[in-house]
Chain A
């Protein structure tokens, strides 16, 4: 499974990792809803950390589409809110 971390490129991870990512993702949703910045930042760092740790960097010369897109490490809580609302710099 190919995962892209915005700003850092693509990583090839085992498909079983999807469940782990999903769990962290759910925590992030909760923290964003509660407005818990500390919890949000920690979970986002965890999400990115797992991909970096478990994944193998996809060589630059490959042209793949990713199955999962992970937001950039420096995305703020407010920006995450905007992503859920479909606004801001991440709007389509």
Chain B
């Protein structure tokens, strides 16, 4: 079976779960409307949560940038005092922080995308809810039970699909922020303890060795730059 067919089935099943079980179709209208309002609140909470997580990462990033600048100054001073060993150590730490900043940048960008998506979803949903609300009142007032049923099922299906979509999008955004929260909590601890190690995605042996070589190259070139700055 194709992926598109499967997706269609999945969404249909979720839609049925959302609106099924009402005896009187007119009740379905009110019930669905209540659920829509609940969902809209959830989206708003979701947006707030993603924004909070993003701000948290931005603060961490600022802290790391500060640390990195401090290490640069320290390396500078170490060289002036003829302590190349200390300068090397400071640059090694700075290097680790730099890669950490890069991975934070990626996470911040991911959250920005999630934020944008949810804000758009919120806008879409709230417009649809408004349309649904006015249609609901018209249907209730103007149509006989049999006629109403057809109109109800059209309106309810249309908005239910949107609700399933938005529900899934919030869930996915939440999963992403949860993962990031866990990692960012660990990072906070490391920053506080001052024992920052590089814990970006797990690498195999070859990756690790290659990273070491390129890191060593970077440190040597930074050392050379600092040496020329202090004139040694």
Contact = CB atoms under 8 A, between A and B. Distances in A.
Chains A and B form a bound pair:
yes
Interface of A: 4, 6-9, 21-22, 25-26, 28-29, 32, 60-66, 68-72, 74, 80, 83-84, 86, 89-92
B169 A7 contact: yes
A2 to B, nearest CB: 10
Nearest to A69: B7
A92 B17 contact: yes
A66 B160 CA distance: 11
A84 B223 CA distance: 54
A83 B3 contact: yes
Given A61-B131, A62-B131, A83-B10, 8 more contacts: A4-B161, A6-B7, A28-B3, A32-B3, A63-B155, A72-B172, A83-B7, A89-B168
15 contacts: A7-B165, A22-B4, A32-B3, A60-B123, A60-B127, A62-B158, A63-B154, A69-B7, A70-B4, A72-B168, A72-B169, A84-B3, A90-B10, A90-B168, A91-B10
A29 B3 contact: yes
A84 to B, nearest CB: 6
**8 A-B pairs closest in CB distance:** A92-B13, A63-B158, A60-B127, A69-B7, A65-B157, A25-B2, A7-B169, A25-B4
Contacts, number: 95
B25 to A, nearest CB: 16
Interface in B168-196: 168-169, 171-172, 175
B109 to A, nearest CB: 13
A20 B158 CA distance: 25
A19 to B, nearest CB: 12
A72 B10 CA distance: 13
B3 A63 contact: no
Main secondary structure of the interface of B (DSSP, over half): helix
A60 B132 CA distance: 11
Interface residues of B, number: 39
Contact of A69 (B8, B157, B175): B8
Nearest to B10: A90
B165 to A, nearest CB: 5
Nearest to A90: B10
A4 B164 CA distance: 11
Nearest to B117: A7
A25 to B, nearest CB: 5
A4 B128 contact: no
Contacts of A69: 4, 7-8, 10-11
A62 B130 CA distance: 11
Nearest to A5: B165
Interface in B1-40: 1-4, 6-14, 16-17
